[in-house]
Structure 1
């Protein structure tokens, strides 16, 4: 059994959140795709984390702990909303009138086209620098599952970038 640790005070909590804010936004954006939805999810996650900060056993594990809360909030939002299509986003994916063979798909565009589970894993690993263990904790999956998703994500990115 662990010994109860001192609860983060408001200032220490804010310092930790500020250190993670960009990672939180990019993670939420990778799942939800819309800036507004990502901002809402981050805000809800911060409020939830602050209210339950006494459940954090080790302050050194703050980042994966709050990312886990955030991913849960993001998936809650996904379940609540109806599927809609953003016409501006789809315009980029429709074939253009003039075929330009020099135009290449950027890596980030390719990442955004991955499935949700692959996109989040790739974003956390390559863009946010989280370890396989931290990603597993944040997403609530095993390290083996993280490695599998990274492998599948890399393979899918290779195919997408070769197509273009």
Structure 2
């Protein structure tokens, strides 16, 4: 299995706490992305399928912000109670992950790049789900990325990730 796999939540309807004020679109789907990647990282899926490349929607959800917390809990987990657990800390699987640029704020995009590295960020739109970014290059420009950084996110990184599909 040497293919990229998109990790994106499905439309299951908002949780009762997220039914109002567009909280499902603002937070629930982003945190569902976080739970999805957390489950894949912590359960050992990447040990069993070392060629797997996860493409994380919503800039990886909250995972880039919580990466240290995931590592700490991986060390502290009761392995007997949890069942299959990844052999390494979640951060050790960084090479298995790419992140879309759908974070909707220049500072958040800069943070994502700082945490995961420019080579791991791909241009995204989240089309056709609200709040889709219909002008994704505008976010890259408003984050004051250089022309080379924009080219990497919008062209070079996706070409490298999907090279087998040419």
| Same fold, TM-score > 0.5, yes or no | no
**TM-score, length-scaled by structure 1:** 0.33
Higher relative contact order (CA 8 A, sep 6+): 1
Where is the helix percentage greater, Structure 1 or Structure 2?
1
Q: Which has the larger radius of gyration?
A: 1
**TM-score, length-scaled by structure 2:** 0.32
